[in-house]
Amino acid sequence: MSVPPCQVVPLLLLVLPAVALAQAGGLETEPPVRQLELTQVAQPELWVAPGQSLLVLLDAPLDMEAMRQARAIEGLRHVEVAERSVTLLLSAGVKAGARLKYTLRFADGQPAEGVTLVLRVDSAKAEPAVEVYRGAVPATALRQQGAALNARVEALLSQEASLLPLMAAGLLVPGCVRSFDVNHNVEVTAPGLFHKDAWLHAAPGRMALEVTLTLPPGAPPWAPGAVQLTELSHPGPLPVRGLKLLGGTVLQPGTTTRLLLEWDTPGETKDLNYTLEVDEQNGKRGVLIRNLTPLEAPPDAVPRKEKKP
């Protein structure tokens, strides 16, 4: 089934339908085939002319047996039924202004009463073909998908293009933005909480940190509490944004999750050196990370060894 030409242009993940361009050289083109949605009109009206045929294209298969057994319609000289189309040829003597009704029966039996096409006789308005859809017209469906995608983009933009949704989706990995393994910088301030890996992600104007934490079976649940971020050249603590545990607010015994947070940075980041401490809510099992800097670890850096739960 033909679909009006369109382009899909990737821009901020937006899908934007483009306007169909006229053919070069000013050549005449055939008028576009009219598209009708049965969800919008129960009995579509189609324009026909005496002695001329109308091709009705469908997006669902017909009940071929039921269609062949249908009674003849006065004024229709010939009917040709295919799986997804019907060709209707009017008799030459049908008068202008007449209204004929022709019923389609679909293979899935829906709707039970079938779909009635109203054929209106008018030679000036007669159309050679019409597309009839039980679902959405493809161009409409594309616009609906684009609108839904645009809404998701707007939601991300409302978060000031935060890096957190990318981490939550698993899209922020080494090689995307700039990611640095900082697992060797992580310390747990009391027994009973373990970390598996940690990544620092750096982008212009901001940094984000993710630390994978694990609680052994039988340990008390863990929830993040107060957070303190400092930088060597900056006096006093700095604000952080979006502190969260992925998948909930509390890390339960015998489970693993990621701790996520981010903060704003000056334009130049190579000389920055942060220390981050996340306390336990009503407890002593905190997470301390020193020397958070967007630089590769020195060759002599030795990863810290920890006991596994």
Looking at residue 279, what is its pLDDT?
94
Backbone angles phi, psi at 303, to 5 degrees: -60, 140
Every domain range in the chain assigned CATH 2.60.40.10: 165-292
- Greater confidence (193 vs 41) lies with 193
Looking at residue 290, what is its pLDDT?
93
Looking at residue 35, what is its pLDDT?
85
Looking at residue 274, what is its pLDDT?
93
The domain at 165-292 falls in which architecture?
Sandwich (2.60)
Lowest-confidence region among 20-24, 214-218, 223-227, 280-284 = 20-24
How many angstroms separate the CA atoms of 181 and 95, rounded? 81
Looking at residue 244, what is its pLDDT?
86
Looking at residue 307, what is its pLDDT?
36
**ω into 309 cis (within 30 of 0):** no
C-alpha 52: how far from chain center: 45
Q: Quick: pLDDT tens for 18-70.
A: 333 333 343 344 557 888 888 778 788 999 999 999 999 998 899 999 998 88
Read off the pTM: 0.42
Residue 224, pLDDT > 70, answer yes
CATH number of 32-138: 2.60.40
Q: Quick: pLDDT tens for 244-265.
A: 888 788 999 889 999 999 998 8
Residue 72, pLDDT > 80, answer yes
Looking at residue 29, what is its pLDDT?
42
Backbone angles phi, psi at 26, to 5 degrees: 70, 25
How many angstroms separate the CA atoms of 148 and 139, rounded? 14
